[in-house]
Amino acid sequence: MTAEKKKYLTLEDVAELLGVNYQLIYRLVRAGELPAIRLGRIYRVTLEDLDAYLEAKKTTKFGICAACGTRYKSNLSLDNQCEICARPICKDCWTRKGVRRCDEHEEKESAS
């Protein structure tokens, strides 16, 4: 049975599927980044958890800062959120400019 057909994968299976070293997968599981089931001293990863982890790690998604409108190739630059609606705000606006609200809510606050 190939790794693609199994419901529960060993860490070796996951490493092989992704073409990475076993130790990397082991570290991700031990750090709690990649969810796994522990049975005694053995770890198993579900395909659903692996897919969710990989989807969350994608960096090719485009994100737009809700305060300045800058387009980012990675959501890593959009760590912060509007205090009201939780739209993403880039690190530059958050740290350098002190912006805590998206442009829409900032305009409403200014008009009041």
Do the domain assignments include residue 3? no
> Is residue 96 in some structural domain?
yes
The identity of residue 62, as a single letter, is F
Percentage of the chain modeled with pLDDT above 70: 88
Same domain, 53 and 89: no
Select the more confidently predicted residue: 73 or 43: 43
pLDDT of residue 89: 92
Q: What is the pLDDT of residue 17?
A: 94
**Domain tally for the chain?**
2
Residue 2 falls inside a structural domain: no
Whether 17 is covered by a domain: the verdict is: yes
Instruction: With a cut of 60, say whether residue 2 has pLDDT above it.
Output: no
Residue 78: domain span: 63-111
Mean pLDDT on 76-87: 86
Residue range 58-78, pLDDT digits in tens: 765 578 899 999 988 776 778
